[in-house]
Structure 1
Amino acid sequence: MIAYRAMLDVPRELVQHVARLLRAERRAVGTRSGTRALTCFYQALLVLVWFRKGEDKTTLGAGFGVSRATAYRYVAEAVRVLAAQAPTLHEALARVAGEGWSHVILDGKLFDTDRVAETTMSVKGETIDAWYSGKHRDFGANIQAVMRPDGLPIWTSEAMPGHLHDLTCAQQLDVTGALYWAASELHLPALADSGYEGAGQGIHTPYKQPADGRRLAVDNRTYNAVLRSMRCRGERGFAILTGRWRSLRHSTASPRRTGDTVRAALHLTHFEYRYLPESC
């Protein structure tokens, strides 16, 4: 194996921030000094290389002088620690409302994973692959996210099986309930695409084209145009995450862990955008 020098385009402050979180975790679990192969700083650096470049963990471990198993364990530990820093949905909504934003944007995305053998029963009573999305024709985990009007993601959900529709995921995760609360108590409505049609009060979706082929009324077309112009910035949310953190583009781990990985990347994104709460 040949070694070579490389650069990592993340600020040193981010490495130090992750190292501080890992140091606190080691103290919490009672890790004795000198018993780990890497210091907190170099573990943080290893983890950020994985997030930023999506490196194979065997190669990544070799580059840091640790075994494949240790590299996997270090990444899993850091993902758990970082994911725990992400805000709850109610906290995120209350903060956005307090900052004076007029609305939030709800969207969902299928995060690509390896093929999974788990099966489930469809609404038609047929046996189907639980993590296969017919819409995307691929295996993956459905992640729901809420974005500010400028596109910055403020919250991401647990992973849901890829065969489920966005509205079903939002309902089962009680995202819709939190958004009802935000609309009524915080005067913070949510905008969403047609996949959330019927979500309920406070979640605005476009009018669909009539099934009989008639054109929408002028008022409805105008409403859709305004909604589309306000919602389009929300498309940046997932692009910010997957564009910056390449490990999110494809996962070889259990798809149920995808939610933690995305939340960990969300915390890293909030650090780079200086959007962490003061307690951090």
Structure 2
Amino acid sequence: MVGLVVPWRGPGAGRVLAAWTPGLHEALVGLGEGDFVIVDGTLIPTDRIKADEPYYSQKHKQHGMDVQVIAVPDGTPLWFSRATPGRTHDLTAARAHGIAPACLTRQILILADRAYQGAGATVRTPHYHHHEQPEHYQRFNRDHSRLRAPGKRASAQLKPWRLLRRARCPTRRIGTIVQAIHTPLTCDSSR
């Protein structure tokens, strides 16, 4: 079999790699009832000016683009969303991408942080004010945190890419870049 050689430089390389990444429903193939995924949002810093208010994240105190990440329990990324402006709340972004309904149709449980509270029946988030609640709420929060921790590794796999440390490209290209990076990440994890 002849290997496909894809140039890493040039305007089309990112689009070619991005085309190979699975969509949300394709990424969830193989998962079903009784399985769970970890959903988290991450901010890709951008080089923007103060006038670009939609890209300013109050939470991170910097300009950027928000990317939603779905990972399996061992921390392997399954899917990266298209990028939305940095001020987009994680719950709003998850609803825009249809993450909860896609998992609901396959009866997949979602573990997420408090930002996703109210996302739907299949989304489990920690309890608020657990220090004022009975011990079983505290135990639930500890177990939830332990199970969700490997999902942080999936979004952390984007951070070492020099291209995304402080993106200086147009914001519409960041989603394509993230999708292009997803292809080698999934190729490495399947070995």
Task: Tell me the TM-score normalised to structure 2 length.
Answer: 0.91
Q: How far is 1:238 from its partner? A: 1.3
Name the CA shift for 1:251/1:193 in 2 (closer, same or farther; >3 Å): same
Can you give the 5+ residue segments of structure 2 that lack an aligned partner in the other structure?
none
Deviations along 1:62-114, one digit per CA (max 9) or x if unpaired, are xxxxxxxxx5xx1x3111110110001111112344xx983110000010011
Partner AA of 2:22 in structure 1: P
Partner AA of 2:109 in structure 1: P
CA distance in 2, matches of 1:255, 1:140: 9
Higher normalized helix content (fraction of residues): 1
Deviations along 1:97-134, one digit per CA (max 9) or x if unpaired, are 4xx98311000001001115665xxxxxxxxx110001
- Decide whether the 8 Å contact of 2:67 with 2:80 is kept in 1: yes
Partner AA of 2:101 in structure 1: G
Report SS of the residue matched to 1:253.
Answer: coil
- Decide whether the 8 Å contact of 2:90 with 2:115 is kept in 1: yes
Name the CA shift for 1:116/1:88 in 2 (closer, same or farther; >3 Å): farther
What is residue 239 of structure 1 aligned with on the other side?
156
Higher normalized strand content (fraction of residues): 2
CA distance in 2, matches of 1:179, 1:110: 23
CA distance in 2, matches of 1:95, 1:83: 21
- Decide whether the 8 Å contact of 1:96 with 1:148 is kept in 2: no
What is residue 178 of structure 1 aligned with on the other side?
102
CA distance in 1, matches of 2:51, 2:70: 28
Find the partner of 2:143 among 198, 221, 226: 226
Q: Which of structures 1 and 2 has the larger relative contact order (alpha carbons within 8 angstroms, sep 6+)?
A: 2
What is residue 15 of structure 2 aligned with on the other side?
80
Percent sequence identity is 34
What is residue 37 of structure 2 aligned with on the other side?
104
What is residue 255 of structure 1 aligned with on the other side?
171
Find the partner of 2:78 among 136, 147, 154: 154
CA distance in 1, matches of 2:156, 2:144: 20
What is residue 114 of structure 1 aligned with on the other side?
47
Can you give the 5+ residue segments of structure 1 that lack an aligned partner in the other structure?
1-15, 23-43, 48-70, 120-128, 276-280
Find the partner of 1:132 among 43, 52, 56: 56
Alpha carbon RMSD of aligned pairs, Å? Answer: 2.0
Deviations along 1:144-174, one digit per CA (max 9) or x if unpaired, are 0100100011101111011111001111122
Partner AA of 1:94 in structure 2: V
